[in-house]
Structure 1
Amino acid sequence: MTNVTFSLVIIINIFCLCYCAQLPSNFGRCHTKDKEFDECIRKNIEVAIHSLKEGSTQLGLHPFEPLSIPQLIIGQGTGAVNVEQRFSDAKLYGLTGSLVQAGSVDFEKEVILAKSVTPNLQLIGTYDMNGKILLLPLVGTGPFNVTLVNTKINHTITGQAYEKKGKKYWKFVNYTVTLRPERVYFRFDNLYNGSNPQLGENVNQVLNDNWDEVFTDVRPGYEASFGQIFQDLANRVFSRVALKDIFYFD
């Protein structure tokens, strides 16, 4: 089993405007007894993702495009990547452009399942690394861009019911994702702190020529980190909106 450690600190400047909130009018409600329930779930998840691009004053949420991630640390892999990737002042672009292909809810197990495709997911910020990738030294600090193209994402979200002021809510205690990009592009500027620009360009070329091997080695770290980010966002919505305002149960 791949042993990837990661540390993630998310400070997204989002504040609750009130203790409870109603979903915006463009967020639909799904009837649990409707034969098209799964399609309703799929559609509503997609609408929610797209709508939150500009945030929601009703939910007290700031815009999600881009999403700020002050610090992100992806631990080294066990093969090609022998370096800890330390990212700071990062922004995640493209999340709200995701297309949801399927969705379902198991109320007994309190689990939501979804499948999505994100055409272009970009993580941009500042890196700080000192190690090796593909036996090449990777040292430096500077701007970075990791772009995932046409990424298929499977979401498994486990909830836990609780009551607040007589209403039932869900708190998500686990959010697992799998990331399967069609292509990944890497760009690390100022490698070797600018002392050898040509070598820096060559290393970037090697990373992109071998993107599958490089990304596969550290994918568990990215999956764990993205899962934590998504869990945080989901909880910010579900902690404000009661289940009866999301689903029809009668």
Structure 2
Amino acid sequence: MRFCVLACLWLSYCCFVQCAKLPSAWGRCHKSDAGFSECIRENIEIAVSTLNKPISELNSGALDPLDIPELYIGEGTGPVNVAQHFKNVKLFGISNVKVLNSSVNFKDKYIQSVTVSPQLVLKGDYDLKGQILLLPVYGNGKCTVTLSDVLINHKIVWENIEKKGKVFMKCVDYKITLKPGKVSYQFDNLFDGQKELGDNINKVLNESWEEVFNDVRDGYEKSLGIIFNDLANRILSKVPEKEIFLE
């Protein structure tokens, strides 16, 4: 399956212009603590929950909703024979999360976490043409895709980079798997605004959401992985590793 994300370049691989400190509310974890994994789990949840507000320590505005200029989900191999092209996307809900567990492997440099999000909502402009469940479909306009009760497995792989005598973490791979409890679709202006036809397609999409989403799941996972990779680097590029994980 083909996929492409044209996320804001300023989100990714930020140059180490100046060092910053983690917001004090995020907490710190000592590697030697017996409860290190639980400390990481708790502090990741706290940190993510603050993304809907500006973070002055990191010179960052609010990141929920997250702006995504362009998002492309390629056609599936089964019932979804249509490419989904989105523009001017806003992703809502990333700060409302429950972290179930987390672990850090310092030898191989990766972090694993399992989270649950009540809702991830993607709103933007769409353009599509093809077939879904053997039904012809085309249109362009506004759309909303809502993933509810989403179980997400995260694996973040990093490498260390030294700058001006300080060691930073750089996320080089961010893989996720998505398991939503439900997916809802609303595509406005299908069939050039023919309401009855558009309503029927939206109804079919929502009644068959599991079959439809599973066919393009890989595209969503890879695309969101790139977006989350960029988001992680916006933080990691500014804060030395020793201030994230205390000795």
TM-score by length of 1: 0.95
Amino acid at match of 1:242: P
Q: Check if 1:5 corresponds to 2:22.
A: no
2 CA distance for matches of 1:77 and 1:52? 32
Give, in angstroms, the shift of residue 13 of structure 1. 6.4
2 CA distance for matches of 1:76 and 1:93? 24
Give, in angstroms, the shift of residue 55 of structure 1. 2.6
The equivalent residue for 2:114 is: 115
Any stretches of 5+ residues in structure 2 without a counterpart? none
**Comparing 84-93 and 6-15, the one that deviates more:** 6-15
TM-score by length of 2: 0.96
* Per-residue deviation, residues 63-88 of structure 1 (Å, max 9, x unmatched): 11211111000000000100000000
Q: Check if 1:138 corresponds to 2:143.
A: no
The equivalent residue for 2:36 is: 37
- Percentage identity across aligned positions? 47
Judge conservation of contact 2:72–2:85 (CA < 8 Å) in 1: yes
How many residues are treated as equivalent by the alignment?
A: 245
Write out aligned runs for 1:171-190 (5 A).
171-190=170-189
Any stretches of 5+ residues in structure 1 without a counterpart? none
Judge conservation of contact 1:16–1:61 (CA < 8 Å) in 2: no
User: Which of these residues, 187, 197, 200, is aligned with residue 198 of structure 2?
Assistant: 200
The equivalent residue for 1:223 is: 221
User: Which of these residues, 221, 235, 238, is aligned with residue 237 of structure 1?
Assistant: 235
1 CA distance for matches of 2:111 and 2:54? 23
2 CA distance for matches of 1:55 and 1:217? 37
* Per-residue deviation, residues 133-180 of structure 1 (Å, max 9, x unmatched): 101111000110000000000000100112111111111110000000
1 CA distance for matches of 2:195 and 2:187? 11
When residues 91 and 12 of structure 1 are mapped into structure 2, their CA distance, relative to the original with a 3 A threshold, is farther
- With a CA cutoff of 8 Å and minimum separation of 6, indicate the structure with the bigger relative contact order: 2
The equivalent residue for 1:93 is: 92
* Structure 1 runs, 4 residues or longer, greater than 3 Å off: 12-18
